Amino acid sequence: MHHDDGPLGRVGRPDPPRPAEERLAAALDALSARDRLLAERSRRLAALEDVADRLTAVNARLETLADDLAALRLARRAELAERDARIAALEAALGQAPGQTASQQRGPDDLQHIRGIGPVIEQLLHEAGITTFRQIALLSAEDERRVGDHLGVFRGRIGRDRWREQAAGLAGPRPVTGAQGPAGAPTRHFGRRYDA
């Protein structure tokens, strides 16, 4: 007896897949996997390109800042050179040796002529580099704070005893030794008398 197997084959079982269909299904699976991989790589590439663009922009900004910094350094050097030239010209006009301050040239003032300054405070001021009435008269607020810190327990006296005002009144022309007038005649410069 002959049985007609039909499309389900024997006893209701499906026909086994044919090799061409298997290859096609495997190829479709491989293409899908490849598409997913390509999509992931495209996303990564886009992210890397974005980072590269940002790095290029940052690098350009850094180059601009480096150029600006170089220009500022050159300008600062020029300003310092101009300042040094002005200082040298002023020192020459004052008859000082270059690098020597007026107080170094003429010697210290007797700071004890200022009310509130005795021998101990005068010594502390000398240690802080203050030796003339003019230096005290020209103290800025920051200088006053710095000197006050150096004076320790005597801090506050600069303002309370009005040292700057007293020093401004005491600072004035001082005798210059060895100055020569016309034809080598000695000249006489008068300074103030600092009597207590």
Q: How many CB atoms lie under 10 A from the CB of residue 150?
A: 15
pLDDT of residue 85: 86
- SS3 of 74-92: the string is HHHHHHHHHHHHHHHHHHH
CA distance 111 to 164: 12
Token output for 9: 């084959």
CA distance 123 to 131: 9
**Cβ-contact 127, 150 below 8 angstroms:** yes
Burial environment of residue 133 by CB neighbours within 10 A (0 to 12, 13 to 18, 19 or more): buried
CA distance 33 to 143: 77
pLDDT of residue 19: 84
Low pLDDT (below 70) residues in the chain: 1-17, 94-106, 172-196
**Alpha helices in the chain, H assignment, sequence order:** 19-94, 102-106, 119-127, 133-137, 141-151, 157-160, 163-170
CA distance 31 to 55: 35
The string of pLDDT tens digits covering residues 33-64 is: 999 999 999 999 999 999 999 999 999 999 99
3 state SS of 20? helix
pLDDT of residue 13: 66
Token output for 139: 């103290």
Q: What is the pTM of this model?
A: 0.37
pLDDT of residue 141: 86
CA distance 118 to 130: 14
